[in-house]
């Protein structure tokens, strides 16, 4: 089994060299993960050409787009990575294609290459606010159309900006700003065991009772 993994690793490394030679300046660098996956970092404006090559080249034959996801690194100059996961059934290979962008710069849609990209790109837009130029129907897919913000950004508040409830008087769902009332909240930092020092639990009959629980002796 280890020998097979080594053969696969060598094959993917050779495939990375083939892609790098074919696409030249479109590929910024190639890498191999610890789990044996080939990773390509590509120029943002060249993603269309790169994915078309990976799909059509006979040595690649990555005919299936499994997923597109986003990653947020707020400390980076371009805070977002967009990651494309591809599968070649012919060669039994997987590959990961990545690019970088920021909040204001759109990236080309790849719906013309892989039709499955339509919903994937909508999800990335919904969760991260990354814009896909040329997408035929770029709108929210997981959150409601009235949702504010993009919930998978690292700077998105855990409570969100609005809360949703059903209004009995209006007979519809309404959105209201999140309000965290502190007046009637009580913070108890005592652990559950500390809070039960004066209570005798079943099975503790042989233990020594606290003096104030013993009662008066007859």
**What is the 3 state secondary structure string of the chain?**
CHHHHHHHHHHHHHHHHHHHHHHHHHEEEEEECCCCCEEEEECHHHHHHHHHHHHHCCCCCCCEEEEEEEEECCCCCCCEEEEEEEEECCCCEEEEEEEEECCCCCEECCCCCCCCHHHHHHHHHHHHCCCEECCCCCCCCCCCCCCCCCCCCCCCCCCCCEEEEEECCCCEEEEEECCCCCCCCCCCCCCCCHHHCCCCCCCCCCCCCCHHHCCCCC
pLDDT of residue 167: 86
pLDDT of residue 10: 87
pLDDT of residue 204: 60
Tokens of 19: 């892609």
In words, the CATH class of domain 2-152 is: alpha beta
pLDDT of residue 131: 96
C-alpha angle with apex 78: 74 to 81, nearest 5 degrees?
85
The answer for residues whose C-beta is within 8 angstroms of residue 61's C-beta and 6 or more apart is: 55, 88, 89, 90, 91
Mean pLDDT score, 138-163: 85
Kindly report the average pLDDT of the chain as a whole number.
84
Q: Residue 29 and residue 23: Cα distance in Å, rounded?
A: 11
Q: Is the pLDDT of residue 206 over 70?
A: no
Neighbours of 19 (CB within 10 A): 23
Q: Is the pLDDT of residue 1 over 50?
A: no
Q: Which of 63-72, 100-109, 203-212 has the lowest mean pLDDT?
A: 203-212
pTM of this prediction exceeds 0.85: no
């Amino acid at each position: 089994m280890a020998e097979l993994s080594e053969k696969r690793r060598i094959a993917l490394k050779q495939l990375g060299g083939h892609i790098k030679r074919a696409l030249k300046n479109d590929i910024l660098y190639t890498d191999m993960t610890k789990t044996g996956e080939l990773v390509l970092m590509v120029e943002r404006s060249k993603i269309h050409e790169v994915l078309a090559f990976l799909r059509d080249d006979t040595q690649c034959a990555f005919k299936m787009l499994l997923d597109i996801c986003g990653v947020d690194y707020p400390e980076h100059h371009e805070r977002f990575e967009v990651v494309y996961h591809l599968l070649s059934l012919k060669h039994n290979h997987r590959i990961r294609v990545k690019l970088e962008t920021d909040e204001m710069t759109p990236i080309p849609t790849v719906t013309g290459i892989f039709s499955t990209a339509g919903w994937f790109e909508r999800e990335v837009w919904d969760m991260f606010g990354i814009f896909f130029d040329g997408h035929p129907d770029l709108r929210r897919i997981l959150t409601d159309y009235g949702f504010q913000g993009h919930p998978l950004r690292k700077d998105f508040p855990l409570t969100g900006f609005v809360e949703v409830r059903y209004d009995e008087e209006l007979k519809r769902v309404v959105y209201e700003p999140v309000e965290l009332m502190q007046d009637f909240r009580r913070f108890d930092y005592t652990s559950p065991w500390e809070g039960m020092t004066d209570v005798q639990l079943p099975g503790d009959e042989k233990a020594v009772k606290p003096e104030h629980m013993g009662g008066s002796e007859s």
